């Protein structure tokens, strides 16, 4: 007989006890002293099944003796001799028939548990289960498992909706914000009023200029600056004796005229270029001169009328003095970059003029034709100034110098060939960048940054020799 089961034994006191009626029921418990918790794990079979009811099944290796265990139901049934009953079943003796009867115990002894994706069933009275109990439990787990993803998805959607507000709430908030938000035009009006107020301190004016600089990057705001009279105030601030106001005004002016033709014209008519060159030609802190050069470059780019006046006002000479006084710093790179942009800009416009263009561009071509920048650069010694940048340890500075050398080549080739220091510098750089380019290729970069600089070097050497 299997462990955990035992057949109840009933004793009689004698033959005369037939008039005494007594009934007792016995709950059989497991003979083992250990209290263990049983759990079920359902494994989906990959083999096809002929079972049409879709219920889960328990596969186990049955002991032959398990066949002598009587399977009770919820009704009283006669227990045949030689059969054991499952633990937890109700057993009684029918004194009328003299036979033992058995039925299932209360289902309250079964308790289901779950831990994440794991589920199980515990019999609180005994660690054993009948086949019917196992079949019922597995079917319940299968049904709960099908509902669990749906519940998890609904919970996730509810949590996600809780993180956001409804469209109605957002619409109300936007209506409130519309009552408080000021337009750029309104903000600029207040800043210009502060800039023009006699009661404003220099600190107030500097603060107003910095706020304006943030706004005038937009084309429309830059044009509004003109229509509101703010551009005139900015240009006038360049005459201030306060260096902070000069620097801030140049910053605003450069941002306002950048890629904004209408503001460029207004700035030229307001005398901005003359004032900027005058300030650059006089002693100023390097921080102020950087902002002044930024304003000059923004005013000249893509504006041939301003470039023509720049040459007439001695702008190239001013930049030459600034280049020599910078001591090899970043100011040299800014100066050479501005000159290079002006050279290339004219070349691109001239090449575009080789194809039919609208009549509106004819005047623009005529203005560029009047600009003779390269001869002036050669005349004022730039053919020997630009090569000095090759001694810089910065790769970016060397690249810009090489590009400027190529751009000035038509008018500077004779001087380049006579410059022995330039030839030695180019040869040394060629050897250095050959090694750097090979290192790039070893890393899988066929056309890397150093390879591009090496290509520029080879082109310059080819034209100089």
Query: Tell me, what's the pLDDT at 157?
Result: 80
Q: Residue 443: beta bridge partners?
A: none
CA distance 40 to 46: 19
Tokens at 195, concatenated: 């800039």
CA distance 370 to 351: 16
CB 208 within 8 A of CB 200: yes
Residue 294 has pLDDT above 60, yes or no: yes
Output the pTM of the full model: 0.62
Q: Give the Å distances, CA to CA, from 360 to 45, 346, 353, 365.
A: 81, 17, 12, 10
What count of Cα atoms within 13 Å lies in the side-chain half-sphere of residue 283?
A: 0
Q: First CA to last CA across the chain, in angstroms?
A: 110
Mean residue pLDDT across the chain: 80
Q: Residue 78: beta bridge partners?
A: 101
Q: Which residues contact 318 (CB under 8 A, 6 or more apart)?
A: 277, 280, 281
Query: Tell me, what's the pLDDT at 36?
Result: 39
Q: How confident is the model at residue 13 (pLDDT cuts 50, 70, 90)?
A: very low
108-139 tens-digit pLDDT: 455 555 555 565 655 555 556 677 777 777 77
CA 55 to chain centre: 50
* Ramachandran angles phi, psi of 97, nearest 5°: -100, -20
Query: Tell me, what's the pLDDT at 100?
Result: 84
81-94 tens-digit pLDDT: 878 777 667 788 88
Q: What is the mean pLDDT of residues 278-304?
A: 95
Q: What is the mean pLDDT of residues 98-102?
A: 83
Residue 23 has pLDDT above 50, yes or no: no
304-354 tens-digit pLDDT: 999 999 999 999 999 999 999 876 688 999 999 999 999 999 988 877 654
């Amino acid at each position: 007989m299997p462990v955990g089961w035992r057949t109840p034994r009933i004793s009689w006191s004698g033959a005369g006890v037939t008039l005494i009626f007594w009934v007792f029921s016995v709950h059989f418990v497991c003979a083992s002293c250990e209290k263990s918790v049983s759990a079920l794990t359902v494994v989906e079979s990959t083999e096809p099944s002929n079972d049409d009811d879709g219920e889960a099944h328990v596969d186990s290796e049955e002991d032959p003796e398990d066949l002598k265990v009587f399977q009770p139901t919820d009704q009283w049934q006669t227990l045949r001799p030689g059969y054991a009953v499952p633990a937890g079943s109700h057993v009684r003796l029918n004194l009328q028939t003299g036979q033992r009867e058995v039925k299932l115990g209360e289902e309250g002894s079964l308790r289901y548990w779950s831990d994440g994706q794991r589920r199980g069933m515990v019999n609180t009275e005994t660690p054993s289960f009948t086949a019917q109990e196992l079949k019922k439990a597995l079917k319940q787990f299968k049904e709960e498992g099908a509902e669990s993803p749906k519940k998890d998805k609904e919970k996730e959607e509810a949590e996600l909706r809780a993180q956001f507000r409804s469209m109605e709430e957002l619409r109300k908030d936007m209506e409130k914000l519309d009552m408080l938000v000021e337009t750029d035009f309104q903000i600029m009006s207040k800043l210009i009023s502060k800039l023009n107020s006699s009661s404003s301190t220099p600190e107030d004016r500097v603060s107003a200029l910095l706020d304006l600089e943030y706004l005038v990057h937009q084309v429309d705001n830059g044009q509004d600056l003109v229509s509101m009279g703010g551009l005139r105030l900015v240009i006038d601030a360049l005459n201030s004796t306060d260096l902070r106001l000069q620097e801030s005004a140049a910053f605003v002016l450069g941002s306002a005229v950048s890629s904004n033709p209408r503001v460029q014209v207004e700035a030229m008519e307001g005398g901005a270029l003359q004032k900027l060159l005058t300030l650059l030609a006089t002693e100023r802190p390097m921080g102020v001169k950087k902002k002044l050069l930024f304003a000059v470059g923004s005013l000249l780019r893509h504006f041939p009328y301003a470039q023509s006046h720049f040459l007439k006002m001695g702008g190239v000479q001013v930049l030459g003095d600034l280049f020599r006084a910078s001591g090899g710093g970043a100011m040299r790179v800014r100066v050479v970059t501005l000159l290079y942009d002006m050279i290339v800009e004219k070349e691109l416009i001239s090449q575009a003029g080789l194809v039919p263009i609208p009549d509106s561009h004819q005047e623009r071509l005529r203005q560029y034709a009047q600009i003779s920048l390269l001869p002036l650069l050669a005349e004022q010694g730039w053919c020997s100034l630009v090569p000095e940048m090759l001694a810089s340890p910065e790769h970016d500075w060397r690249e810009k110098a090489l590009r400027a050398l190529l751009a000035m080549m038509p008018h500077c080739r004779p001087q380049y060939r006579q410059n022995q220091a330039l030839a030695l510098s180019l040869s040394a750089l060629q050897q250095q960048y050959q090694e750097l380019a090979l290192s790039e290729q070893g890393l899988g970069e066929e056309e890397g940054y150093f390879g591009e600089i090496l290509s520029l070097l080879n082109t310059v050497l080819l034209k100089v020799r």
